[in-house]
Structure 1
Amino acid sequence: MERKRNGKESTPSLLAIDSQSVKIVQFINQETGIDGDKNVNGRKRTILVDTLGLPFSIKVTAANISDNQAGILAVDLLKGKVSRLQKIIADMGYKNTFQEYIEVNYKWEVEIAQKPESTKGFIPQKKRWQVERSFGWLNFRRRLFRDVEKTIASAEAMLQIAFISFIINKL
């Protein structure tokens, strides 16, 4: 309904994917791990969003799961939900296994966006900044700056509730 309110088709033809590793609080021991690249002991949130930043898939895994594996799990949740989808924009973390899996199993194009090597820090990338903005929105929720949920299901539910509140606030 939010997409139609913004003059768009009900399902997107383009999605952007990314992940965010978040620390966990004490006493959480289900589905946790250490993301060696980001030096975070916790969980990884993988989301696929449209050009409005609305999530079409949310998957929470242990942080030590690669972006390729987590991305495949998140995309598999889209099955039958996005009839118009043609392309997924991703960063270099999704270059190998993910890209091949999507192109073989779903026949969607995967475009790997990358910033110039000479730049440092955050550079907004065309058609991919929406997913970064969505993670920024989540960081405004005090309960979500760390993962405090005991189970993966409740962690995913809290992310869904946060996105629902963002949509309601736009009305």
Structure 2
Amino acid sequence: MTGEKTKGRKRHIVTDTMGNLLCIHVHAANIHDTKGGIYTFEKALYRYPTIQAGCADGGYRGTFRNTFDEFHNIRIDISMQIKEQKGFQVLPKRWVVERTFAWLNGSRRLSKDYETSCCSAETMIMISHAATLLKRL
């Protein structure tokens, strides 16, 4: 898998436990994911300084976790896939972000990579999320 080119964009999203969107970062898929994730989480920390802990996918173990332990004194829990798992099972706390991605995939423009710039992709995510939350009122 190393050296393999990926087309499209990567989306790093920080949500709270209620599923509210705190921060988004969209970038070209050929940039290493951890860099985008660190940028997004630090941006969320700047806007919401009361954040005390976070959860991330297994792809963020290592540099990402160490950065927040050392420099921000924030505990990051990494959700790893369970080897004995058969079929779909909800992993602890990971369902919050997975649920948010599922809500966003209901938007037609986010189902494929239609956007020409990362800025317009971020804007479409915010519009789609706002529409989803307004429907729930």
* Same fold? TM cut 0.5: yes
Does residue 109 (structure 1) correspond to residue 95 (structure 2)? The answer is: no
Is contact 1:36–1:64 with CA below 8 Å preserved after alignment?
no
2:135 match: 169
Give the CA RMSD over aligned residues: 2.2
Matched residue SS, 1:78: helix
Gaps of 5+ in 2: none
Distance change (3 Å), C-alpha of 1:37 and 1:82: farther
- SS for the counterpart of 1:77 is helix
Structure 1 position 84, deviation (Å): 2.1
Deviation at 1:127, TM superposition (A): 1.3
Corresponding residue for 2:42? Answer: 76
CA distance in 2, matches of 1:37, 1:147: 22
1:152 to 118, 121, 128: 118
Residues 92-124 of structure 1 show CA distances to partners (whole Å, capped at 9, x for unaligned) of 100011111112222110111223212245431
In the TM superposition, 1:4-83 aligns within 5 A as 40-83=6-49
Superposition pairs for residues 118-157 of structure 1, below 5 Å? 118-157=84-123
**Equivalent-residue separation in structure 1 for 2:16 and 2:29 (angstroms):** 24
Residues 157/36 of structure 1: CA separation in 2 closer, same or farther (3 Å cut): farther
d(CA) in 2 for partners of 1:98, 1:57: 17
For residues 159 and 89 of structure 1, the distance between their equivalents in structure 2, rounded to whole angstroms, comes to 21
Give, in whole Å, the separation in 2 of the partners of 1:157 and 1:53: 17
Q: In structure 2, what is the Cα distance between the partners aligned to 1:124 and 1:88?
A: 17
State the match for 1:93 in structure 2.
Answer: 59
Which structure shows the bigger proportion of residues in strand conformation?
A: 1
Q: TM-score scaled by structure 1? A: 0.72
Distance 2:87 2:32 in 1: 22
Q: Distance in 2 between matches of 1:139 and 1:116?
A: 25
For 2:117 and 2:63, the matched residues in 1 are separated by: 27
1:63-90 deviation digits (Å, cap 9, x = unpaired): 1223311211111211332232111111
Please give the per-residue CA displacement for 1:22-67, whole angstroms capped at 9, x wherever unaligned.
Answer: xxxxxxxxxxxxx979985211011011111111110001112233
Give the TM-score taking structure 2 as reference length.
Answer: 0.89
Cα 1:121–1:60 shift into 2, 3 Å = farther
- Conserved? CA contact 1:95–1:112, under 8 Å: yes
Structure number having the greater helix percentage: 2
